[in-house]
Amino acid sequence: MRLDIFSLFPEAFDWLQTQRPVQNALREGNELRLFNYRDSAPPPSRKVDDSPYGGGAGMVLRVDIIDKALQDAYGEGKRPRIVLLTPTGRLLDDELADELVAEPHVAMLCGRYEGFDERIHEHLADDEVSIGRYVLAGGELPAMVVADVLMRKLPGALGNASSAAEDSYGQVLEGMPEYPHYTRPPVHRGWKVPEVLLSGDHEKIREWRLERSRERARAYAEATGEAHPKPAGGAQNSASRTE
Ligand code: 6GU
C-alpha cells in the first residue's frame, strides 16, 4: 500500500521510519511519503492558518492551503482515501485498521491549532479518525499510531515468524486479547512460569493459551461493561485454572 502523511512537522516521523516493521514493509514495496502543508502555502509568509471567523481562541487550518497541498500531491489524478485525524473522529480499532490497510492508497491529514476549517471536513476528507477520547495538540502522534498499526499488518512487516493476525484483537484469536507470554528464568523471586508451558505438549499449550485469552476477554467485559470485540468463550465455559 501507499501511505501519505500531510503535516506541518514531517520531521516528527523520522523515528517511525527507523522502525523495523516499517522498514520491512517498505522493502516489500509499500510506500510511506511525507508532505509539508507549508510547501503549498504562498511565500513569503507561507502561512497555513488564520483566526476563526466569528472570533474565539486559536487558529484554524485554511481550506485553500490544504486543498492546494492535495492538488500539488495528486493533481487531477485519482485521489487516495483521505483520512482527517481529529479528536472527534471514528475511534481507531483493529476493524478500522483492517479496512484502511485494504486500501491501495491512503492519505492522512494531521491537524494542529484549533483544527481544520469545516470545509476540509465537508469537501476534502473521506473519513475522520481519532485514537481516543482526549485531545492532543496535533495529529502527528495519532498519524504515527495509525501508520504503525497499518504497517505491521502488511505482509512481511513482522518477518517470517509472526503475523499481525496472531496479535491481540486479530483474526487468529477471534478479536480476543492475546494470552500471557513468559521467558527465562523459569522462577524469579518465587514467581513461577506456568508448568504447562514447560511441558512440551503443544496441544495442551494451545488450549491453555486460548483459555487465558478467553479469561482476559471476560475480565475486560466485566471491567468495562462492554463486550470485548467478540464475546469469546461464553459465560457457561468458565475458566478452570490449570496452572
Ligand atoms: Cl486524531 N487528533 C488530536 N488532535 N487529538 C486526538 C486525536 C487526534 N485522537 C485523539 N485525540
Q: Are 29 and 79 in contact (CB under 8 A)?
A: no
Q: Report the candidate in 32, 40, 14, 30 with the shortest Cα–Cα distance to residue 124.
A: 40
10-residue mean pLDDT series, the chain (243 residues): 98 96 95 98 97 96 98 97 97 97 98 92 98 96 98 88 78 86 97 98 96 94 80 38 34
pTM above 0.85, yes or no: yes
What distance in angstroms lies between residue 82's CA and the mean position of ligand 1's atoms? 16
Ranges of H-type helices in the chain = 14-17, 20-27, 63-74, 94-101, 118-123, 140-153, 195-198, 202-224
Architecture, CATH, for domain 168-224: Orthogonal Bundle (1.10)
Give residue for cell 475511534. Answer: 91
The minimum-distance atom of ligand 1 relative to the CA of 89 is: 1
Q: Which atom of ligand 1 is nearest to the CA of 134?
A: 11
CB distance 87 to ligand 1 below 6 Å: yes
All CATH 3.40.1280.10 domain ranges of the chain, comma separated, are 2-153
Ligand 1 atom closest to residue 136's alpha carbon, by position in its atom list: 5
pLDDT at residue 166, rounded to an integer: 80
For the chain, how are helix, strand and coil distributed in percent, rounded to 5? 35, 20, 45
| ω into 21 cis (within 30 of 0) | no
Delimiting residues of CATH 1.10.1270.20 domain(s) in the chain: 168-224
136 lines ligand 1 (CB under 6 A): yes
Probe target for ligand 1 pocket from 109, 130, 144, with the most ligand atoms within 8 Å of CB: 130
What is the CA(113)–ligand 1 centre distance, in A? 11
Instruction: Give the pLDDT score at 175.
Output: 84
SS3 of 156-204: CCCCCCCCHHHCCCCCCCCCCCCCCCCCCCCEECCEECCHHHHCCCHHH
Q: Write down the pLDDT at residue 190.
A: 98
CATH class of 2-153: alpha beta
